[in-house]
């Protein structure tokens, strides 16, 4: 049973919606970097511009909302707007979102309040659900009335592969008949404390997935494979094994997106790509343009491939591969077959 991507959207350091991301990534100019500072850390980062939660979503239900959830809710709304209402959820539409560890800022603030206020329980109870990792997926369900399976997959940098595999399973088993699948990651000083060295980015990417036989929507791509591997302390070996498994026909590969930003992991991805795929015509490194977006890095890679494929007729019918690795020895790969038979002028 084929799993198809029929639409996508993103909130990225390039702006709101798929068009801002597609234009930015094709333009190849790095997104603006700005100075950020909160009580936890000061940093230079690539954040989603003009994204004030209350301005974007209104006052109701947003008083304690974390930025990760807000990015996800807004991206889902953008996806539906971009598609002019043609993505129609029903009672079995699900959400599967990737994360690293949820909203670190909300978790840290909650802990701070407990430790510094006159009583340890003088915390804001409304903040608690937003401190949990499933907040973003659950908020998507609440804001958009999605009562199907609602899952949060915490796979860190390998979230694209883990999320798409999980979502495809929900579709193949009939547990959902459509899934908003992707990942979200916020920038904050708290996250700066947990991720060293890189210029951090943030954002959310969502794909709308369905099985090939459902609906009449023109698909953008088929999800051919999503795979993760583990090789203790040796992510290169893990990625090589994964790529060998998911790309049997290397000649069919049109494009590749590498997700790493730091030099060590980038080298791992470059080496594994060279070993398994040889020379690939289109190689994208979106992290160099939008920063280290953690759990969303793989999904941004897929979105970048879709954006480039729109304007490259050579992509049609061929494969696009997005990879990810992490220091612990995990690696992931997603393979799409680009459909792209119709010009998608509105994007």
Partner 1 sequence: MRRVAVTGLGVVSSIGTGVAEYAAGLRAGRSGARPISVFDTEGFAHSMGCEVVGFTPERWITEQPLEDLGRAAQFSVAAARMAMRDAGVDDPGRAMVCLGTTDGGGDAGERIAENIVRDKEVPAELPRQVPAVTLPVAVARELGLSDVDISTVATACAAGNYAIGNGFDAIASGDVDLALCGGADAMCRMTFTGFYRLGAVDPERCRPFDVNRQGILTGEGAGVLVLEPLDRAVARGARIYAEVLGYGLNCDASHPVAPDQDSVAACMRLALDDAGVTPDQVDLISAHGTGTKANDATECGAIHDVFGDPPRTVSVKSMLGHTMGAASALSAIACALAISDGFIPPTINHVETDPACGIDCVPNEAVEADLRIVQNNALAFGGDNSVVLFGRHG
Residue 273 touching partner 1 (CB under 8 A):
no
Tell me if 151 contacts partner 1 by CB under 8 A. Answer: yes
Contacts of 306 by beta carbon, 8 Å cutoff, 6+ apart: 5, 8, 22, 220, 221, 320, 336, 338
Q: Does 111 bind partner 1 (CB under 8 A)?
A: yes
Q: Which of 137, 204, 256, 319 binds partner 1 (CB under 8 A)?
A: 137
Nearer of residues 30 and 124 to partner 1, judged by Cβ: 124
The reply to whether 229 sits near partner 1 by the rule CB under 8 A is: yes
CB of 329 to partner 1, least distance (A): 8
Is 121 one of the binding residues for partner 1 (CB under 8 A)?
A: yes
Selected from 238, 246, 247, 315, the binder of partner 1 by CB under 8 A is 238
Nearest to residue 285, comparing CAs of 300, 307, 268?
300
Distances (CA, A) of 203 to 106, 144, 146, 166, 284: 17, 19, 21, 21, 18
Contacting partner 1 (CB under 8 A), which of 17, 102, 201, 235? Answer: 102
Binding mask 173-192 for partner 1 (x = CB under 8 A): x-x--------------x--
Query: Could you say which of 95, 167, 219, 257 contacts partner 1 (CB under 8 A)?
Result: 95
**Contact call for residue 49 and partner 1 (CB under 8 A):** no
CB 283, min distance to partner 1, A: 26
> 2 or 23: whose CB is closer to partner 1?
2
Options 146, 243, 258, 277; binder of partner 1; rule CB under 8 A: 146
Rounded to a whole number of angstroms, the minimum distance from the CB of residue 231 to partner 1 is 6
Contact status: 12 vs partner 1 (CB under 8 A): no
Report the residue number, 232 or 267, with the smaller CB distance to partner 1.
Answer: 232
Toward partner 1, which CB reaches closer, 53 or 339? 53
Q: Give the number of C-alpha atoms closer than 13 A to the C-alpha of residue 235, restricted to the C-beta side.
A: 23
Please report whether residue 154 would count as binding partner 1 according to CB under 8 A.
yes
- Binds partner 1 (CB under 8 A): choice among 8, 14, 21, 110: 110
Q: Check residue 90 for interaction with partner 1 (CB under 8 A).
A: no
Piece in contact with partner 1 (CB under 8 A), picked from 13-21, 26-34, 139-147, 306-314: 139-147
Return the range that interacts with partner 1 (CB under 8 A); candidates 77-85, 107-115, 249-257, 301-309.
107-115
């Amino acid at each position: 049973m084929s799993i198809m991507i029929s639409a996508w959207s993103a909130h990225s350091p390039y702006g709101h919606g798929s068009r801002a991301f597609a234009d930015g990534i094709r333009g190849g100019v790095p997104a603006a970097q700005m100075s950020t500072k909160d009580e936890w850390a000061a940093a230079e980062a690539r954040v989603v511009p003009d994204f004030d939660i209350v301005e974007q979503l209104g006052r109701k239900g947003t008083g304690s909302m974390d930025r990760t959830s807000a990015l996800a809710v807004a991206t889902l709304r953008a996806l539906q707007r971009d598609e002019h209402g043609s993505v129609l959820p029903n009672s079995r539409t699900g959400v599967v979102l990737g994360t690293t560890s949820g909203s670190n800022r909300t978790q840290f603030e909650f802990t701070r309040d407990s430790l510094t206020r006159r009583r340890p329980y003088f915390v804001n109870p409304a903040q608690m659900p937003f401190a949990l990792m499933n907040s973003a997926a659950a908020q998507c369900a609440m804001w958009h009335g999605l009562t199907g399976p609602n899952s949060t997959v915490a796979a860190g940098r390998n979230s694209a592969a883990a999320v798409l595999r999980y979502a495809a399973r929900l579709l193949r088993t009939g547990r959902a008949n459509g899934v908003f699948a992707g990942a979200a990651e916020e920038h904050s000083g708290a996250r700066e404390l947990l991720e060293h060295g890189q210029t951090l980015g943030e954002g959310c990417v969502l794909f709308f997935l369905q099985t090939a036989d459902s609906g009449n929507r023109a698909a953008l791509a088929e999800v051919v494979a999503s795979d993760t591997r583990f090789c203790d302390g040796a992510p290169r070996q893990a990625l090589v094994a994964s790529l060998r498994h998911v790309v049997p026909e290397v000649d069919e590969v049109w494009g590749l997106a590498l997700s790493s930003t730091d030099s060590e992991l980038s080298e791992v991805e470059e080496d594994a790509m060279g070993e398994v795929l040889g020379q690939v015509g289109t190689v994208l490194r979106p992290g160099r343009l939008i920063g280290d977006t953690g759990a969303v890095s793989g999904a941004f890679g897929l979105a970048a491939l879709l954006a480039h494929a729109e304007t490259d007729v050579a992509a049609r019918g061929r494969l696009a591969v997005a990879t990810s690795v992490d220091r612990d020895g995990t690696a992931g790969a997603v393979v799409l077959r680009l459909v792209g038979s119709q010009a998608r002028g509105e994007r």
